[in-house]
């Protein structure tokens, strides 16, 4: 029998599990009296268009979970869905819609989409499915009590298909989890984070986080050989994180985990103590966006300096954590061959265990995005590793790809899975690998 609410995560080049819609569903069970029986979920990574369209035949509301990279796939699917069901309300949520004004959203896609829900979607999704939505574009902020949000329904989003995929690739069991749901207070030019919601100081409590970790252990088999990739844009080393680590140990939740951190936000003594406690509780990896070479670092708007980055990599090496450094080429028109090459000696000095070289692509929701110029970008055909758009004052798009290739080859022993020519070997390595 057809389900009345359908969630779709259209295909994009790299795909993790659709945790966001897992949250929307469980929130609606707890506060709206709905149940899993009301929902169907499809993921373009695993389900064909025909299956998805068939699953939408009797739907009343169809919610798409989107980044800018999956908008074209959504539009294509939408065309096919309308043929079999032109009555269903179409709802878009996720970062594809967060960065635009109401007028812009309606102008761009208002002819095809009924509702655009910006920011955290739990409350606004309920308004739509219960027929209470008063506007077509609704923006919510982060809820004051984050512990009131139930854990995402991982059953609905068929997380076992991701486990199966990983197993076939020879990887250890991995899944993702949102640790804090804090909104980063920084406004780096390349990041869409601030389009999600206003920064909030309060995060989930330690107990609430560890309760979800216990569920991951008991329901999803995450044991000491498993790895949880926290999907917060950045994790901040607050006192709650110290307590979370203590509780994780106390409750014998043994899986490993890794997280993004801002290099300058782990340097104070109390942050170092928290990091150590987290390591004791299973933290094995930290991922730090370095982005630029030393001379252009200030242009990213990120609160890091070459000295702080060096210190962060030194400290974490001393602690024995696996450290991954990300670098973005061409994020400013001032990037030249010299500023690219500057990264080489800098990387040799900070000595990350893994290194990734991406090519900048401006995204909606980020400070650098200008719709007049950037709406021409073909996001569907781009990802962080390749695009045909970006160039700088002195470097063409082909030059940027040339230098990316050069750096990957130069640091081939440190290349992470996606950029490592020897995929089998690198799968055994840490980091955000084949997931």
- Smallest gap from Cβ 63 to ligand B12, in A, equals 3
- Are 105 and 137 spatial neighbours (Cβ–Cβ below 8 Å)? yes
- Smallest gap from Cβ 404 to ligand B12, in A, equals 13
Tokens, residue 110: 């208002």
Could you say whether residue 368 binds ligand B12 (CB under 6 A)? no
Tokens, residue 295: 């001379």
- Smallest gap from Cβ 68 to ligand B12, in A, equals 4
Runs of H (alpha helix) within 95-205: 95-98, 102-109, 122-129, 159-169
Give dist(CA 100, CA 248) in Å, integer: 39
Decide whether 264 or 358 has the Cβ nearer to ligand B12.
Answer: 358
- Smallest gap from Cβ 114 to ligand B12, in A, equals 11
- Smallest gap from Cβ 133 to ligand B12, in A, equals 10
- C-alpha pair distances (Å), 195 with each of 15, 244, 407: 21, 28, 32
Decide whether 65 or 208 has the Cβ nearer to ligand B12.
Answer: 65
- Smallest gap from Cβ 97 to ligand B12, in A, equals 8
The window from 116-124, 243-251, 294-302, 397-405 that contacts ligand B12 (CB under 6 A) reads: 116-124
Of 10, 44, 55, 63, the residue at the interface with ligand B12 (CB under 6 A) is 63
The window from 208-216, 293-301, 347-355, 360-368 that contacts ligand B12 (CB under 6 A) reads: 360-368
Of 42, 125, 287, 417, the residue at the interface with ligand B12 (CB under 6 A) is 125
Decide whether 292 or 315 has the Cβ nearer to ligand B12.
Answer: 292
Residues 389-408 that bind ligand B12 (CB under 6 A): none
Buried b (16+ CB within 10 A) or exposed e, 70-91: bbbbbeebbeebeeebeebbbb
Could you say whether residue 55 binds ligand B12 (CB under 6 A)? no
Could you say whether residue 23 binds ligand B12 (CB under 6 A)? yes
Give dist(CA 250, CA 254) in Å, integer: 10
Site string for ligand B12, 203-242 (x = CB under 6 A): ----------------------------xxx---------
Could you say whether residue 10 binds ligand B12 (CB under 6 A)? no
Could you say whether residue 91 binds ligand B12 (CB under 6 A)? yes
- Are 423 and 372 spatial neighbours (Cβ–Cβ below 8 Å)? no
Paired strand residues for 324: 287, 354
Q: Cβ neighbours of residue 75 under 8 Å, at least 6 residues apart?
A: 109, 112
- Smallest gap from Cβ 260 to ligand B12, in A, equals 7
- C-alpha pair distances (Å), 149 with each of 142, 220, 234: 11, 20, 20
Of 53, 117, 129, 290, the residue at the interface with ligand B12 (CB under 6 A) is 117
221 Cα distance to chain centroid: 23
Decide whether 313 or 357 has the Cβ nearer to ligand B12.
Answer: 357
Q: How many CB atoms lie within 10 A of CB 391?
A: 15
Give dist(CA 113, CA 90) in Å, integer: 5
The window from 105-113, 240-248, 357-365, 401-409 that contacts ligand B12 (CB under 6 A) reads: 357-365
Total binding residues toward ligand B12, as defined by CB under 6 A: 43
CA torsion sign for 395, 400, 405, 408 is positive
Could you say whether residue 261 binds ligand B12 (CB under 6 A)? no
State the Cα torsion 408-362-70-73 to the nearest 10°: -100
- Smallest gap from Cβ 280 to ligand B12, in A, equals 25
Give dist(CA 363, CA 331) in Å, integer: 12
- Smallest gap from Cβ 140 to ligand B12, in A, equals 8
- Smallest gap from Cβ 10 to ligand B12, in A, equals 10
Gyration radius from the chain CA atoms: 21
Task: Provide the 3-class DSSP secondary structure of residue 405.
Answer: helix
Query: Binding residues for ligand B12, per CB under 6 A?
Result: 12-16, 19-21, 23-24, 63-65, 67-69, 91, 93-96, 99, 117, 120-122, 125, 176, 178, 191-193, 231-233, 358, 361, 363-365, 383-384, 432
């Amino acid at each position: 029998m057809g389900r009345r609410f359908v969630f779709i995560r259209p295909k994009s080049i790299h795909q993790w599990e659709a945790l966001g819609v897992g949250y929307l569903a469980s929130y609606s069970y707890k506060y709206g009296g709905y149940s899993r029986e009301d929902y169907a979920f499809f993921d373009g990574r695993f389900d064909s268009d025909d299956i998805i369209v068939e699953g939408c035949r009797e739907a009343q509301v169809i919610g798409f979970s989107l980044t800018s990279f999956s908008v074209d796939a959504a539009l294509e699917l939408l065309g096919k869905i309308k043929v079999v069901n032109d009555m269903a309300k179409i709802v878009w949520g996720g970062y594809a819609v967060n960065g635009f004004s109401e007028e812009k959203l309606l102008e761009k896609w208002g002819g095809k989409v009924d509702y655009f829900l910006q920011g955290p979607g739990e409350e606004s999704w309920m308004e739509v499915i219960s027929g209470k939505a008063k506007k077509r574009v609704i923006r919510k902020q982060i809820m004051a009590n984050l512990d009131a949000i139930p854990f995402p329904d991982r059953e609905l989003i068929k997380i076992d298909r991701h486990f199966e995929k990983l197993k076939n690739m020879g990887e250890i069991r991995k899944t993702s989890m949102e640790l804090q749901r804090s909104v980063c207070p920084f406004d780096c030019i390349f990041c869409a984070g601030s389009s999600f919601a206003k920064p909030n100081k309060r995060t989930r409590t330690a107990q609430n986080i560890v309760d979800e970790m216990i569920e991951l252990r008991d329901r999803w088999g995450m044991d000491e050989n498993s790895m949880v990739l926290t999907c917060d844009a950045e994790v901040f080393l607050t006192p709650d994180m110290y307590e979370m680590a203590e509780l994780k140990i106390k409750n014998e939740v043994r899986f490993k985990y890794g997280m993004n951190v801002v290099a300058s936000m782990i340097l104070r003594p109390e942050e170092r103590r928290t990091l150590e406690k987290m390591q004791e509780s299973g933290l094995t990896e930290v991922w730090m966006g370095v982005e630029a070479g030393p001379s252009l670092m200030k242009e990213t708007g990120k609160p890091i300096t070459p000295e702080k980055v060096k210190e962060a990599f030194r400290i974490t090496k001393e602690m024995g954590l696996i450290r991954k450094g990300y670098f973005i080429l061409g994020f400013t028109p001032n990037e030249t061959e010299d500023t690219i090459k500057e990264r080489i000696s800098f990387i040799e000095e900070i000595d990350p265990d893994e290194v990734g070289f991406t090519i900048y692509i401006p995204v909606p929701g980020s400070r650098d995005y200008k719709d007049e110029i950037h709406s021409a970008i073909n996001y569907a055909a781009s990802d962080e590793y390749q695009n045909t758009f970006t160039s700088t004052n002195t470097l063409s798009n082909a030059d940027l790809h040339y230098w990316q290739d050069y750096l990957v080859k130069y640091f081939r022993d440190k290349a992470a899975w996606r950029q490592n020519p020897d995929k089998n070997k690198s799968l055994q390595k840490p980091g955000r690998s084949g997931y």
